[in-house]
A and B are shown apart, each in its own frame.
Chain A
């Protein structure tokens, strides 16, 4: 470096203000590892939650359709004079009326 360059270099430079140092400190503090980790976790959650919801919607929307439940009607039909057997029950079991039970849907 020549004498002239040395003279130029000897001039005193303006220094950055303490406010800049403080702002830089704050920037580093704001992006600390814990904050960064939280932010990364937030990104993962932001990706995974909608993905999970979309998967659930997809799975449930593609389930086979089940038939809606229908009432079952049990119809008891007495073949013979029912009233008589109720009011005057026979002594012998062999004389009991024969019931036919059918379960059916309408």
Chain B
């Protein structure tokens, strides 16, 4: 890998570390396994040498594969993608009608895996439907359908109008 590719990869990590981490935790259910998966992906890419021109979908796919491998090895765990420290919980009520991360987490767990993954990629990782479609290698209308159906279910579960 030449120095410009290394710099691109480094810049990508700095810019997207949070999104990659959220995505990996949502799959593995473990923060430790998510970090191991991300580290393994970057280590592998550094050793492999060549990078594709469009890094974003490629790296999300790599992290997805590594996270799924970790999930297969370790089994389902219940780690949250949300900050659940008491300090964070105390800050959230300052936002009017905001939803606590723990509540969203409970709602997300009741969705199908496809719906949950699509909502996390769209809302928390800022991927477009097109990018999610490429990442999941699934037609775009299917992805959009997962998203809308999942969002409707989540809205009903969280029932924010009553807050």
Q: Which residues of A contact B (CB under 8 A)?
A: 4-5, 7-17, 19-21, 23-24, 27-28, 30-31, 33, 36
- Please give the number of chain B residues whose Cβ is less than 8 angstroms from any Cβ of chain A in the complex: 42
- Among A16, A21, A30, which residue has the most Cβ atoms of chain B within 10 A? A16
Q: Which of A5, A14, A19, A36 contacts B80 (CB 8 A)?
A: A14
Interface membership of B81, Cβ < 8 A: yes
Is A7 a contact of B21 with CB atoms below 8 Å?
no
Is B83 a contact of A7 with CB atoms below 8 Å?
no
Contacts of B160 in A (CB 8 A): 4, 7
Contacts of B83 in A (CB 8 A): 12-15
Among residues 1 to 56 in chain B, which have CB atoms less than 8 Å away from a CB atom of chain A?
1-3, 6, 10, 13, 17-18, 21-22, 25, 31, 34-35, 38-39, 42-43, 46-47
Contacts A5-B123, A27-B46 given; indicate if A14 touches B81 (C-beta within 8 A).
yes
Q: Whole-angstrom distance between the alpha carbons of A7 and B160 in the complex?
A: 9
CB distance from B31 to the nearest CB of A (A): 7
Contacts A14-B25, A15-B21, A33-B6 given; indicate if A7 touches B80 (C-beta within 8 A).
no
Contacts A20-B21, A23-B39 given; indicate if A12 touches B46 (C-beta within 8 A).
no
The proximity string for B residues 84-109 relative to A, scoring 1 for CB distances below 8 Å and 0 otherwise, is 10001001100101111100100000
Is B17 a contact of A14 with CB atoms below 8 Å?
no
Is A11 a contact of B100 with CB atoms below 8 Å?
yes
Is B123 a contact of A13 with CB atoms below 8 Å?
no
| Interface of chain B, main secondary structure | helix
Which chain A residue shows the least CB distance to B43? A27
| Interface of chain A, main secondary structure | helix
Interface membership of B151, Cβ < 8 A: yes
Is B47 a contact of A31 with CB atoms below 8 Å?
yes
Interface membership of B82, Cβ < 8 A: yes
Q: Whole-angstrom distance between the alpha carbons of A28 and B22 in the complex?
A: 22
Q: Which of A16, A28, A36 contacts B38 (CB 8 A)?
A: A16
Contacts of A15 in B (CB 8 A): 18, 21, 83
Interface membership of B77, Cβ < 8 A: no
